[in-house]
Amino acid sequence: MPQNKLIAGNWKMNGNLAANEALVRAVAAGMGEARCEVAVCVPAPYLAQVNALRAGTRLELGAQDVSQHAQGAYTGEVCAAMLREFGVRYAIVGHSERRQYHGETDALVAEKVKAALAGGVTPIVCVGETLAEREAGQTQDVVKRQLAAVIHVNGHCISEIVVAYEPMWAIGTGRTATPEQAQEVHALLRAQLKAATGHAERVHILYGGSMNAGNAAQLLAQPDIDGGLVGGASLKAADFLQIIAAV
């Protein structure tokens, strides 16, 4: 297992200049000597602002997406090199909302992971099943297929990624996988990474389905859950700090 857990907030399409400043200042001040890494993944227009606000703190910066291309005529896209110029360490790749609303395939996600790594950004690679897939007993097949595509394209570099298991039925719904359900999938993903690289102990595997102040401690106590990708609760400093404290 990684030595430190990672708690990453995903702001999604939320925020404004004033609210961002208040939130980042409160989180940075409240972190103290946090026993984990902490990052916030913010909308692209706010990367510069949050990068400046986090200066001198232990708070890391993340983006919510990255292009599979290094540069060129790709209107609206943002490449890894651009993100690095703004101090970005992490980029969420293949979030279920990108897969669902923007048609991102396993193959595209794998290429985005490759581009992020080449540009010096650590991808947080999201995998997870729908409610229909879970009820049909397909959870293991789905997450293994999604991760296999990334492993196939990125080979030995796979030990440099972060993985986030985010069951789609538990995102923004208030429903959460039980600690046992989450641990079962995390153990499966760990075994898959170990078979591919032999270095699975270096890879953070985060849980990303409605983690909040109330359930974080139980989830984070599981042996293969190395942190959280936190949605709504990351927009409230008190809730986010409670999750950080649960580590």
Catalytic residue numbers?
Answer: 95, 166
- Residue 210 annotated as part of some ligand binding site: yes
- Residue 87 annotated as part of some ligand binding site: no
- Residue 51 annotated as part of some ligand binding site: no
- Residue 12 annotated as part of some ligand binding site: yes
Burial string for 1-32 (b: 16+ CB within 10 Å, else e) reads eeeebbbbbbbbeebeeeebbebbeebbeebe
- Residue 11 annotated as part of some ligand binding site: yes
- Residue 169 annotated as part of some ligand binding site: no
Binding-site positions read 10-12, 172, 210, 231-232
> What residues are designated binding site for substrate?
10-12, 172, 210, 231-232
